[in-house]
Amino acid sequence: MNDSINVALMGYKFMGKAHSNAFRQVAHFFPDVALHPVMQVLCGRDQAAVQAAAAQFGWQETATDWRDVVTRPDIGLVDVSTPGDSHAAIAIAAAQHGKHVFCEKPLANTLAEAKAMHAAVQEAGVVGMVNFNYRRVPAVQLAKRLIDDGRIGQVYHWRAVYLQDWIMDPNFPLVWRLQKDQAGSGTLGDLGAHIVDLARMLLGEISSVSGLTETFIKQRPLLAGTTGGLGAAGSTQMGEVTVDDAAMFLARFANGAVGSFEVTRFAKGRANYNSFEINGSKGSIVFNLERMNELNVYLDSDAPDVRGFRNVLATDGSHQYISAWWPAGHIIGWEHTFTHGVFDLLNGIAAGTSPAPTFEDGVRCQAVLDAVERSAGSKQWVEPEY
Ligand SMILES: NC(=O)c1ccc[n+]([C@@H]2O[C@H](COP(=O)([O-])OP(=O)(O)OC[C@H]3O[C@@H](n4cnc5c(N)ncnc54)[C@H](O)[C@@H]3O)[C@@H](O)[C@H]2O)c1
């Protein structure tokens, strides 16, 4: 039996569920993982709800204040799966108490916070990893291998969209994701962070951006129970939406390529459409999360009479992570990307190195998002401040 590490998970809703599943599955499917995670403490603010979640997901204990957890000597790894307004405080305190930190994306709500978090893990000498889980789709890893091996030649174009439609109803309430003090930004930090991270992994650094942001619905009903929420007479009170509903930007990459990025929560019919196309001098690559086991590839090196976009099913033993799962052609799903991340994280902790995306990657991504916001304000091309 390999060594183990006690894990504390902050947050038990969407990401809490996905991360719990990953910690539960990792040693079952990757028995060679260097550290076995012990699901020790689940932390949330509502005692009854966190207890119910712990029972459902398989955590041994619960806590209602993260400050009590990050100081515990028996905890080795702190997983930050809360909204962005608490990432910095939890991650910095955890690092200062010698805990390794796994943090949801975007790393922080501001570039300054992200830099402070990076400094904290460096000073403490602990592992820091950001959960940009789309890096760990086997088909995306295949795209990286094709680019790195020069199979599509010099890359000229990056074209990415990440489209959703869940807040198009004007009566959809003012949840935390629509408030800048809690979420940092709207689609830009939520969806844009993912495709900026993919672009950085596949093409390298972004050197300048020109962006715009838009908020289509500027006021929304306050949630019952929030300050100024459902009025005494039952009338719904409205609150200000303080983040973007959509963002678009053009980018120049340090390697000479150019890129376009579009993110929105107002693309009717697109629930979670995350797609990119890359064009190089010798070929092209297309990825679409809705067909996440596949990579569309066009290669000039094919014989002319059969040249065309081919659909590669990235599900055999030659594709990263796949040998842990099923025989070739037996597809995997979205939740597997989290298990892959946790596998790499635990091996990184055992080896004493932070697996990518590191907190430095988180800072670099945040710097691009920050530059887009500044560009949208100034209507000028802007350089990220790394
Ligand atoms: N990687 C991905 O694909 C992906 C997808 C969705 C969200 N996220 C990220 O995950 C994070 C959480 O998002 P979510 O969708 O899970 O949100 P959520 O609203 O579903 O869950 C947030 C959880 O955090 C808890 N929480 C909030 N403040 C807390 C505090 N101070 N102490 C302890 N617990 C606290 C809440 O009780 C809740 O359990 C965000 O950073 C978000 O951007 C990543």
Q: pLDDT per residue over 319-333, tens digit each?
A: 999 999 999 999 999
Residues within a 6 A CB radius of ligand 1: 10-16, 43-45, 66, 81-84, 86, 104-105, 131, 133, 190
Euclidean distance between CA atoms 162 and 160, whole angstroms: 7
List the residue whose alpha carbon is closest to atom 28 of ligand 1.
Answer: 82
Out of 14, 181, 195, mutate this one to test ligand 1's pocket (max ligand atoms within 8 Å of CB): namely 14
Residue 149, C-beta contacts closer than 8 angstroms, at least 6 positions apart: none
CB atoms within 10 A of CB 382: 21
Contacts with 377 (C-beta within 8 Å, 6 or more apart), sequence order: none
What superfamily does domain 138-291+293-332+357-378 belong to in CATH?
Dihydrodipicolinate Reductase; domain 2 (3.30.360.10)
What residue ranges do the domains of the chain occupy? Answer: 3-134, 138-291+293-332+357-378
Q: What is the pLDDT of residues 69-93, one digit of tens each?
A: 999 999 999 999 999 999 999 999 9
Residue 192 CA to ligand 1 center (angstroms) comes to 17
E strand or H helix at 115: helix 111-124
What average pLDDT score do residues 265-269 get?
Answer: 98
Q: Which atom of ligand 1 is closest in space to residue 50's alpha carbon?
A: 39
Split at pLDDT 50, 70, 90, the class of 273 is very high
* Straight-line distance from the first to the last Cα atom of the chain, in angstroms, rounded to the nearest whole number: 42
Give the pLDDT band of residue 375 (cuts 50, 70, 90). Answer: very high
Mean per-residue pLDDT, 358-385: 98
**What's the confidence (pLDDT) of residue 31?**
97
Ligand 1: distance of its center to the CA of 16 in Å?
7
10, 13, 15: residue to mutate for ligand 1 pocket, most atoms within 8 A of CB: 15
3-134 architecture in CATH? Answer: 3-Layer(aba) Sandwich (3.40)
Question: What would the mean pLDDT of 38-65 be, rounded to a whole number?
Answer: 98
Count the Cβ atoms, other than its own, within 10 Å of residue 67.
Answer: 11
Distance (angstroms) between ligand 1 centre and the Cα of 13 equals 6
Task: Give the model confidence (pLDDT) of 167-190 as tens digits.
Answer: 999 999 999 999 999 999 999 999
Minimal-distance CA residue to ligand 1 atom 6: 15
Question: With contact defined as beta carbons under 8 Å apart, do 260 and 251 qualify?
Answer: yes
- The predicted pLDDT at position 225 comes to 66
Whole-number Å distance between alpha carbons of 24 and 22 = 5
Provide the pLDDT for residue 224.
77
pLDDT at 231: 42
CA distances from 76 to 35, 116, 159 (A): 11, 21, 40
| Nearest CA-CA partner of 299 in 313, 318, 280 | 280
- Tell me how far the alpha carbon of residue 171 lies from the centroid of ligand 1, in angstroms: 22
Q: Which two tokens stand for residue 168?
A: 């198009």
Q: How sure is the predictor about 230, in pLDDT bands with cuts at 50, 70 and 90? A: very low
Tokens of residue 89, six digits: 């405080």
CA 344 / ligand 1 centre spacing (Å):
22
Nearest protein Cα to ligand 1, atom 5: 15
pLDDT (average), residues 49-53: 98
Give the mean model confidence (pLDDT) for residues 260-281: 98
Atom index in ligand 1 nearest the CA of residue 84 equals 41
- The proportion of the chain whose per-residue pLDDT surpasses 90, expressed as a percent, equals 96
> Residue 228: its pLDDT value, please?
46
How many angstroms does the Cα of residue 177 sit away from the middle of ligand 1?
10
In this predicted structure, the answer to whether residue 132 has a pLDDT above a threshold of 50 is yes
For atom 29 of ligand 1, the residue with the nearest CA is: 82
- pTM (2 d.p.): 0.97
Mean pLDDT for all residues in the chain: 96
pLDDT given for residue 280 in this prediction: 98
When pLDDT is cut at 50, 70 and 90, the band that residue 234 belongs to is low
Ligand 1 pocket check: which of 13, 131, 223, 340 to mutate, most ligand atoms within 8 Å of Cβ?
A: 13
